[in-house]
Chains A and B, each alone.
Chain A
Amino acid sequence: MLDPQVLKARLEQALAGATVEIRDTTGTGDHFEARVVSPTFVGLSMVQQHQQVYAPLQDVLATGELHALALKTYTPEQWSKVKR
């Protein structure tokens, strides 16, 4: 069982200035969805953005403790447009 708050803290620590929202989609502590808005994404492809998010979670992904993470990544500018 993973605590979404722990995942959130890890990501916010790894990605300077990021805002992270995490939701446990099944209530089983292994399937999550995350929305990550980070200035570190500027100029990166979507693949590179997702790789930045996966990197600090490498260990729990490898063990399968984190089975699924549905990801939405935005730069702060993209997010300000989506929000409206």
Chain B
Amino acid sequence: MIDEALKARFDKEISENPIVIYMKGNLLFPQCGFSARAVQLLQPFGKIYSVDVMKEPAVRDGIKLYSNWPTIPQVYIKGKFVGGSDIVADLAERGELEALVKG
């Protein structure tokens, strides 16, 4: 079960920021190729709010329960879970990321 306080925190971060990524490392220094790729693809579409899960083990575990998604990075756009780096890459390839951000 996910901790209530943690869930409230995720709800808040995701509702207040149009583009949110839970990643390994930060925007300037991603610590995993998948996180780096997702950041790179999202960057053209506006300000990214990022959370470094390496600094917060509780977040690293909690976000996986929150979304029922077992891997990092996790991307949320306009309050909705979008997926990991593969899905972001597929959406970018199809030119659908912009519509999501503007939608």
Contacts and interface: CB of A to CB of B under 8 A. Distances in A.
B86 interface: yes
Contact of B69 (A54, A62, A70): A54
Contact of B82 (A47, A58, A62, A71): A47
- Chain B interface size band reads 10 to 19
Interface string A24-53: 000000000000000000000011001100
A45 B8 CA distance: 26
Contacts, number: 33
B84 to A, nearest CB: 7
Interface of B: 34, 68-71, 81-87, 90
A73 B68 CA distance: 18
Contacts of B69: 47, 50-51, 54
A20 interface: no
A47 B86 contact: no
Interface of A: 46-47, 50-51, 54, 57-58, 61-62, 68-72
Contacts of A50: 69, 83-84, 86-87
Given A46-B83, A47-B87, A54-B69, 14 more contacts: A46-B87, A46-B90, A47-B81, A50-B84, A51-B68, A54-B70, A54-B71, A61-B70, A61-B71, A68-B34, A69-B71, A70-B85, A71-B84, A72-B90
